[in-house]
A and B are shown apart, each in its own frame.
Chain A
Protein backbone atom coordinates (compact mmCIF):
# COMPACT_ATOMS: atom_id res chain seq x y z
CA UNK A 1 0.00 0.00 0.00
CA UNK A 2 1.34 3.36 -1.01
CA UNK A 3 2.02 5.71 1.89
CA UNK A 4 2.91 9.37 1.59
CA UNK A 5 4.47 11.26 4.47
CA UNK A 6 5.23 14.91 4.90
CA UNK A 7 7.32 16.78 7.39
CA UNK A 8 6.97 18.97 9.12
CA UNK A 9 3.22 18.88 9.60
CA UNK A 10 3.21 22.38 11.04
CA UNK A 11 5.62 25.13 10.18
CA UNK A 12 5.72 28.61 11.57
CA UNK A 13 8.31 30.86 10.01
CA UNK A 14 9.15 34.50 9.80
CA UNK A 15 8.94 36.53 6.67
CA UNK A 16 12.15 36.60 4.73
CA UNK A 17 13.35 33.20 5.91
CA UNK A 18 13.93 30.07 3.85
CA UNK A 19 12.59 26.64 4.61
CA UNK A 20 11.98 23.23 3.06
CA UNK A 21 9.03 20.86 3.26
CA UNK A 22 9.76 17.19 2.67
CA UNK A 23 7.57 14.55 1.09
CA UNK A 24 8.47 10.86 1.28
CA UNK A 25 6.56 8.06 -0.38
CA UNK A 26 6.81 4.31 -0.05
CA UNK A 27 6.39 2.94 -3.58
CA UNK A 28 8.20 3.65 -6.79
CA UNK A 29 6.56 6.43 -8.73
CA UNK A 30 7.71 8.96 -11.24
CA UNK A 31 4.86 11.40 -10.75
CA UNK A 32 4.61 13.69 -7.81
CA UNK A 33 2.30 16.62 -7.28
CA UNK A 34 2.26 19.61 -5.00
CA UNK A 35 -0.93 21.44 -4.13
CA UNK A 36 -1.79 24.45 -2.05
CA UNK A 37 -4.98 24.83 -0.04
CA UNK A 38 -6.15 28.00 1.65
CA UNK A 39 -8.53 27.65 4.62
CA UNK A 40 -12.00 26.66 3.46
CA UNK A 41 -10.91 26.58 -0.17
CA UNK A 42 -10.19 23.94 -2.76
CA UNK A 43 -6.84 22.67 -3.94
CA UNK A 44 -4.66 24.69 -6.27
CA UNK A 45 -2.12 22.83 -8.35
CA UNK A 46 1.41 24.13 -7.85
CA UNK A 47 3.73 21.65 -9.53
CA UNK A 48 3.67 18.34 -11.35
CA UNK A 49 7.01 16.56 -11.30
CA UNK A 50 7.21 13.82 -13.88
CA UNK A 51 10.73 12.43 -13.78
CA UNK A 52 13.74 11.87 -11.60
CA UNK A 53 15.71 15.03 -11.08
CA UNK A 54 12.84 17.26 -12.14
CA UNK A 55 12.98 20.75 -10.70
CA UNK A 56 10.30 23.39 -11.11
CA UNK A 57 10.13 26.91 -9.79
CA UNK A 58 7.36 29.43 -9.50
CA UNK A 59 8.01 32.63 -7.65
CA UNK A 60 9.32 31.86 -4.17
CA UNK A 61 8.54 28.15 -4.43
CA UNK A 62 10.78 25.50 -5.91
CA UNK A 63 9.98 21.79 -6.05
CA UNK A 64 12.29 18.89 -6.83
CA UNK A 65 11.95 15.15 -7.18
CA UNK A 66 14.38 12.32 -6.42
CA UNK A 67 12.64 9.12 -7.44
CA UNK A 68 15.49 6.91 -6.24
CA UNK A 69 15.20 8.29 -2.73
CA UNK A 70 11.40 8.53 -3.10
CA UNK A 71 11.66 12.08 -1.90
CA UNK A 72 10.35 15.42 -3.05
CA UNK A 73 11.09 18.79 -1.54
CA UNK A 74 9.25 22.07 -1.67
CA UNK A 75 11.63 24.90 -0.93
CA UNK A 76 10.40 28.29 0.15
CA UNK A 77 12.65 31.26 -0.43
CA UNK A 78 12.27 34.53 1.46
CA UNK A 79 8.80 33.67 2.71
CA UNK A 80 6.01 36.21 2.63
CA UNK A 81 2.70 36.19 4.50
CA UNK A 82 0.76 35.34 1.32
CA UNK A 83 2.39 31.91 1.30
CA UNK A 84 0.53 30.94 4.48
CA UNK A 85 -1.55 27.89 3.53
CA UNK A 86 -1.55 24.12 3.76
CA UNK A 87 0.68 22.36 1.25
CA UNK A 88 -0.01 18.81 0.13
CA UNK A 89 2.09 16.46 -1.88
CA UNK A 90 0.42 13.60 -3.74
CA UNK A 91 1.68 10.56 -5.61
CA UNK A 92 0.20 8.51 -8.40
CA UNK A 93 1.98 5.23 -8.99
CA UNK A 94 0.60 4.40 -12.40
CA UNK A 95 -1.81 5.91 -14.85
CA UNK A 96 -5.23 4.62 -14.00
CA UNK A 97 -4.48 4.42 -10.30
CA UNK A 98 -5.68 6.88 -7.76
CA UNK A 99 -3.76 9.70 -6.16
CA UNK A 100 -2.56 9.27 -2.58
CA UNK A 101 -2.12 12.49 -0.65
CA UNK A 102 0.21 13.29 2.18
CA UNK A 103 -1.22 14.68 5.42
CA UNK A 104 -0.35 18.24 4.50
CA UNK A 105 2.00 20.83 5.97
CA UNK A 106 0.31 23.83 7.52
CA UNK A 107 2.54 26.82 6.93
CA UNK A 108 2.18 30.09 8.80
CA UNK A 109 4.39 32.97 7.77
CA UNK A 110 4.59 35.57 10.48
CA UNK A 111 5.46 39.21 9.89
Chain B
Protein backbone atom coordinates (compact mmCIF):
# COMPACT_ATOMS: atom_id res chain seq x y z
CA UNK B 1 0.00 0.00 0.00
CA UNK B 2 1.42 3.38 -0.96
CA UNK B 3 2.28 5.75 1.83
CA UNK B 4 1.38 9.38 2.33
CA UNK B 5 2.66 11.51 -0.50
CA UNK B 6 3.35 15.21 -0.47
CA UNK B 7 4.08 17.53 -3.34
CA UNK B 8 6.20 19.38 -4.01
CA UNK B 9 9.05 18.12 -1.87
CA UNK B 10 11.00 21.34 -2.02
CA UNK B 11 9.86 24.87 -2.70
CA UNK B 12 11.48 28.28 -2.72
CA UNK B 13 9.24 31.34 -2.57
CA UNK B 14 9.69 35.03 -2.09
CA UNK B 15 8.27 36.99 0.81
CA UNK B 16 4.76 38.19 0.05
CA UNK B 17 3.94 35.37 -2.34
CA UNK B 18 1.50 32.59 -1.63
CA UNK B 19 2.02 28.85 -1.76
CA UNK B 20 -0.11 25.73 -1.99
CA UNK B 21 1.07 22.37 -0.70
CA UNK B 22 -0.61 19.07 -1.47
CA UNK B 23 -1.01 15.87 0.50
CA UNK B 24 -2.42 12.54 -0.66
CA UNK B 25 -3.24 10.25 2.25
CA UNK B 26 -2.91 6.50 2.33
CA UNK B 27 -5.75 4.90 0.39
CA UNK B 28 -8.80 4.56 2.63
CA UNK B 29 -7.65 7.09 5.19
CA UNK B 30 -10.10 9.93 5.65
CA UNK B 31 -8.32 12.03 8.25
CA UNK B 32 -5.47 14.33 7.27
CA UNK B 33 -3.46 16.52 9.63
CA UNK B 34 -0.87 19.16 8.85
CA UNK B 35 2.13 20.16 10.97
CA UNK B 36 4.82 22.80 10.72
CA UNK B 37 8.30 21.93 11.91
CA UNK B 38 10.91 24.60 12.56
CA UNK B 39 14.13 24.51 14.57
CA UNK B 40 12.84 27.18 16.92
CA UNK B 41 9.25 26.13 17.52
CA UNK B 42 9.50 22.40 16.94
CA UNK B 43 6.52 20.47 15.64
CA UNK B 44 3.31 22.46 15.73
CA UNK B 45 -0.15 21.35 14.73
CA UNK B 46 -1.78 23.36 11.95
CA UNK B 47 -5.12 21.72 11.25
CA UNK B 48 -6.94 18.44 10.81
CA UNK B 49 -9.53 17.48 8.24
CA UNK B 50 -11.93 14.60 8.25
CA UNK B 51 -14.40 13.95 5.45
CA UNK B 52 -13.85 17.40 3.95
CA UNK B 53 -14.51 19.17 7.26
CA UNK B 54 -11.95 20.96 9.38
CA UNK B 55 -12.17 19.22 12.70
CA UNK B 56 -9.40 20.96 14.56
CA UNK B 57 -7.19 23.98 14.14
CA UNK B 58 -3.94 25.00 15.74
CA UNK B 59 -2.85 28.45 16.80
CA UNK B 60 -1.75 29.89 13.48
CA UNK B 61 -2.74 33.14 11.78
CA UNK B 62 -5.44 33.24 9.15
CA UNK B 63 -2.80 33.30 6.40
CA UNK B 64 -2.68 29.55 6.87
CA UNK B 65 -5.65 27.73 5.45
CA UNK B 66 -6.48 24.29 4.20
CA UNK B 67 -9.10 22.14 2.62
CA UNK B 68 -9.85 18.54 1.92
CA UNK B 69 -11.41 17.09 -1.18
CA UNK B 70 -13.91 14.27 -1.55
CA UNK B 71 -11.09 11.84 -2.36
CA UNK B 72 -9.45 12.80 0.99
CA UNK B 73 -6.58 14.60 -0.68
CA UNK B 74 -5.75 17.78 1.17
CA UNK B 75 -4.13 21.08 0.37
CA UNK B 76 -2.81 23.79 2.60
CA UNK B 77 -2.29 27.35 1.51
CA UNK B 78 -0.14 30.05 3.00
CA UNK B 79 -0.74 33.57 1.75
CA UNK B 80 1.52 36.59 2.09
CA UNK B 81 4.55 34.51 2.95
CA UNK B 82 6.90 35.67 5.68
CA UNK B 83 10.49 34.63 6.31
CA UNK B 84 9.34 32.82 9.44
CA UNK B 85 7.15 30.52 7.36
CA UNK B 86 10.26 28.70 6.20
CA UNK B 87 9.79 25.23 7.57
CA UNK B 88 9.22 21.57 6.91
CA UNK B 89 5.50 21.01 6.45
CA UNK B 90 4.39 17.52 7.31
CA UNK B 91 1.13 15.85 6.47
CA UNK B 92 -0.18 12.79 8.28
CA UNK B 93 -3.15 10.56 7.62
CA UNK B 94 -5.14 8.32 9.93
CA UNK B 95 -7.41 5.38 9.23
CA UNK B 96 -10.96 5.42 10.51
CA UNK B 97 -10.39 2.00 12.06
CA UNK B 98 -7.42 3.23 14.10
CA UNK B 99 -7.89 6.98 14.55
CA UNK B 100 -5.12 7.11 17.15
CA UNK B 101 -2.53 6.20 14.54
CA UNK B 102 -0.81 8.74 12.34
CA UNK B 103 1.25 7.99 9.25
CA UNK B 104 3.47 10.83 8.15
CA UNK B 105 4.44 11.85 4.66
CA UNK B 106 7.96 12.87 3.64
CA UNK B 107 7.20 16.56 4.05
CA UNK B 108 7.55 19.68 1.93
CA UNK B 109 10.56 21.86 2.66
CA UNK B 110 9.50 25.49 2.11
CA UNK B 111 12.11 28.21 1.99
CA UNK B 112 10.99 31.83 1.96
CA UNK B 113 13.57 34.37 0.81
Q: A residues within 8 Å of B by Cβ?
A: 31, 33, 35, 41-45, 48, 50, 88, 90, 92, 95-104
Q: A98-B58, A101-B42 are contacts. A50–B106 as well, Cβ < 8 Å?
A: no
Taking chain B's interface residues, is the majority helix, strand, or loop, or is none over half, making it mixed?
strand
In the complex, B107 has a CB within 8 A of chain A: yes
Chain B residue at minimal CB-CB distance from A30: B100
Question: Which residues of chain B are near A48, meaning CB under 8 Å?
Answer: 100-101
A31 and B58 CA atoms in complex are apart in Å by 19
Q: With CB as the reference atom, state the residue of chain A lying closest to B107.
A: A42
Taking residues whose C-beta sits less than 8 angstroms from the other chain, chain B's interface range is 20 to 34
- Say whether, besides A42-B90, A88-B43, A104-B42, A99 and B102 are in contact (CB < 8 Å): yes
Q: Does B71 contact A (CB under 8 A)?
A: no
Residue of B nearest to A102 (CB): B42
17 A-B pairs with CB atoms under 8 Å apart are: A33-B102, A35-B104, A42-B105, A42-B106, A45-B101, A45-B102, A45-B103, A45-B104, A50-B100, A95-B99, A96-B56, A98-B33, A98-B45, A99-B33, A100-B45, A101-B35, A102-B42
